[in-house]
Structure 1
Amino acid sequence: MKMERHALAFRIRPGSHEAVRELLAGYGTPRLETDDGTRLLSTAVFLKDDLAVRAIEIEGDLPTLAAHLAQDPVVLEVERGLLPHLVDTYDPADPRQRGEFMARRRTEPLMHCSSSAEGTGTRHALRYPVRPDRMDRAAAFLAGPGDLARVDTLHGASVFRQGDDVLVGVFEIGGDIDGFVEDLARAVPVGAAREMAEIFEAPGDFATAEGRRKFYTESLMTTVTDRRVGR
């Protein structure tokens, strides 16, 4: 079966960051394979401010896996624990409500690139702070691998979009995150740096590697869990 990559993005209530982190870091392992052979291969969860992102890799059919997980006691327990902390809520026991909620939270995959080392590193995520009315332009900018091929520590990368306010990159790397951010900042050519200055909010100057490093560092999400559950 073909491997697919997906991501769900959830808004969380103010003050819920730590409770959500504890819930998503400590849950048990659900049954990972359906009767037709669809498998959950990996899952990673990231947090930043009011946003939680769950990135998954599967073999098989996503709706089949979603229906399977909706019946798993481990998954149901976590979902019930999360409900008080979510901005957008639903009844986990109601299949229609749950399906509609998951459909709203699904992201659009924009890009994936990988190397032969994919699957052996650790995953991290960036939440890109997009300027007002620049989401389409920012999504187009990140929809190609661009300068990522120049980053030696990169094993794989995916970019996901949700509506006009969520743009997230998930990166698998070999080595430490500080070194990756440094390499990423230095890999950006002058033309791309100018484009970044027009589409992203930045704490520093995109014209310098140090300014870009600060941008990427402040855009990093907290990695809550990174599990290779089915490999």
Structure 2
Amino acid sequence: MTTTSAPVSESLTRQVSQRVSQSVFDGSHLRVVLLVDVYDGAQQQFLEAYEQLCNQVASVPGHVSDQLCQSIENPSQWLITSEWESAPPFLTWVNSEEHVRMVEPLHSCVRDTRSLRFHVVRETGGPAAHAEPGERRLQSSPRIGDGVIRHALTFTVKPGSEEAVAKILADYASPEPRVDDTTRLIRTSLFMHGNRVVRAIEVRGDLLAALRHVARQPEVRAVEEAINPHLEHDRDLDDPESARVFFTRAALPAVHHVTAGEAKADAVRHALYYPARDGGGLRLAQLLSQQDEKAADDPRSPVLRSTIFQRDDVVMRLVDVRGGDTDPAQVLGLTDRARVAEVTALLDADALGVDASALSDGAAARLLTLARMELVTDRRSPDA
């Protein structure tokens, strides 16, 4: 079972909500909505697959309840809703190999799906009607977003192919940024750390529509085909199931984002890789998110924006800082000395290519060198 963040005062939560556009660490209940489009004639097969999945999910830590609904207008449209104690246990499950295996029976009868996740802000009736405010585990105030959705993909390439892959990823032509009247690509940043690739994207509008748009672009498809021989895990983009499994495992969701100030022309973007010890990824991301919130309170902090991405034991932090010389500890998000030891204890020294003793002394400059990812390309939409 993962750990959620400690409760904070209502005044602090309200203050933070004015600048943090996204966080899974509120500790409030989570409502997950899955929209499903079932193939005609496959409704009974889908129902049977759901029953099997439902029995398995019931034993997952943090799961509270779920409902299956069928449209009264279109029998092919279904809705699955589930409630979780908080976001972290859900993310631990949905990003696991166990989940990949659980949902496999659904694929043959489902045409399309769309998953939406929401923190519960207000609730009427049921247990909430008689519970004290502090017992309801509701988000105390809405967060204020900036209209940008952040997402990332990560995968590894065969050792020895890093230079070839970096050249492929740096040389492709940028896809058309406009997706439709309401959605457009804002920024795409590609980084490498050893043989690990991270592609971070920023989208205004519908993330799913943007991802599908990018996948259809011939220049992007050419890049994907060119790197195929170099991937550690094989995939066949002409096989929908192979492509789906690959991109499901490659997804690196944003779990926390904070904006502490307006973007500056001289802002420098860093990508930092924090590989976690087995089972420590979510806790590591949570500790970094707490540091970023403190930095946002400090007018002396050079950090303008920070986004933390996490899946399993892979944690990546994308941070924009004011130009000029910057304290490595501030770039790393490790200004709280009391937390440095806990963060470094969660890091996988072997994945960083260093002896564990090199992390124990809290040498920020050394750790920054080890964690910094190499920029491959950073592209912005002309009118972003």
Task: Sort the TM-score into its range (normalised by shorter chain).
Answer: 0.7 to 0.9
Please report how far the alpha carbon of residue 146 of structure 1 lies from its aligned counterpart in structure 2 after TM superposition. 4.3
Number of equivalences: 227
Q: In the alignment, what sits opposite 2:316?
A: 168
Structure 2 partner of 1:181:
328
1:106-185 equivalences in 2 (<5 Å): 106-118=251-263, 120=265, 121-144=267-290, 145-149=292-296, 150=298, 152-163=301-312, 165-176=313-324, 179-181=326-328, 183-184=330-331
Tell me if structure 2 keeps the 8 A contact 1:148–1:187: no
Confirm or deny: 8 A CA contact 2:192 2:373 kept in the other structure: yes
- 40-49 or 30-39, which deviates more: 30-39
The Cα of 1:142 is off from its aligned counterpart by: 2.0
Map of 2:190 onto structure 1: 45
- Identify which of 153, 165, 176 aligns with 1:31: 176
Equivalent residue in structure 1 for 2:245, among 100, 105, 108: 100
* Residue in structure 2 matching 1:204, options 358, 372, 377: 358
* 1:81 Cα deviation after fit: 0.8
CA apart distance, 1:87: 1.6
C-alpha deviation, 1:98, in angstroms: 2.8
Q: Deviations over 1:133-178 (max 9, x none)?
A: 4323212212332443346322211111122x311111112215x6
Provide closer, same or farther for how the CA distance between residues 107 and 28 of structure 1 changes in structure 2, counting only shifts above 3 A: same
Distance 1:75 1:186 in 2: 33
> Deviation at 1:36?
4.0
Alpha-carbon distance in structure 2 between the residues aligned to 1:181 and 1:170: 14
Instruction: Tell me: CA distance 1:95–1:38, structure 2 relative to 1, closer, same or farther (3 Å).
Output: farther
Q: Aligned with 2:326: secondary structure?
A: helix
| Contact 1:44–1:123 under 8 Å retained in 2 | no
| 1:221 has 2:363 as partner | no
Specify the code of the residue in structure 1 equivalent to 2:358.
Answer: G
Give per-residue Cα distances to partners, 1:208-227, cap 9 Å, x unaligned.
Answer: 5xx12211221111011111
CA distance in 1, matches of 2:381, 2:333: 34
Instruction: Mark the CA change 1:81 to 1:186 in structure 2 (over 3 Å): closer, same or farther.
Output: closer
The gaps in structure 1 that reach 5 residues or longer are none
Is the radius of gyration larger for structure 1 or structure 2?
Answer: 2
Residue of structure 1 in register with 2:352 after alignment: none
Q: In terms of mean alpha carbon deviation, does 25-34 or 89-98 score higher?
A: 89-98
- In structure 2, the residue matched to 1:193 is 340
* Aligned-partner SS, 1:78: helix
* Deviation by residue 1:19-73 (Cα, 9 ceiling, x = unmatched): 1111111111111112343111001011011210011100111221122122211
Letter in 2 for 1:122: V
| Residues 146, 72 of structure 1: alpha-carbon distance in 2 compared, 3 angstrom cutoff | same
Contact 1:24 1:225 in 2 (8 A): yes
**Equivalent residue of 1:4, what SS?**
strand
Tell me the amino acid that sits aligned with residue 182 of structure 2: G
- TM-score, length-scaled by structure 2: 0.54
How far apart are residue 203 of structure 1 and its match?
5.4
Q: In structure 2, do the counterparts of structure 1 residues 76 and 14 end up closer, same or farther at CA, with 3 Å as the change threshold? A: same
The letter of the residue matching 2:346 is I
Query: What is the CA-CA distance between 1:207 and the residue it aligns to?
Result: 5.1
Query: Are the aligned partners of 1:9 and 1:105 in contact in 2 as well (CA < 8 Å)?
Result: yes
Residue 87 (str. 1) matches residue 236 (str. 2): no
CA distance in 2, matches of 1:146, 1:137: 16
> Offset of 1:204 from its aligned partner?
3.1
**CA RMSD, 1 decimal:** 2.4
Equivalent residue in structure 2 for 1:61, among 199, 203, 206: 206
Distance 1:175 1:93, change over 3 A: same
Once residues 60 and 226 of structure 1 are traced to their aligned partners in structure 2, the CA distance between those partners, rounded to angstroms, is 20
Relative to structure 1, is the Cα distance of residues 2 and 97 closer, same or farther in structure 2, using a 3 angstrom cutoff? farther
Tell me how far apart the structure 2 counterparts of residues 186 and 69 of structure 1 sit (CA, whole Å): 32
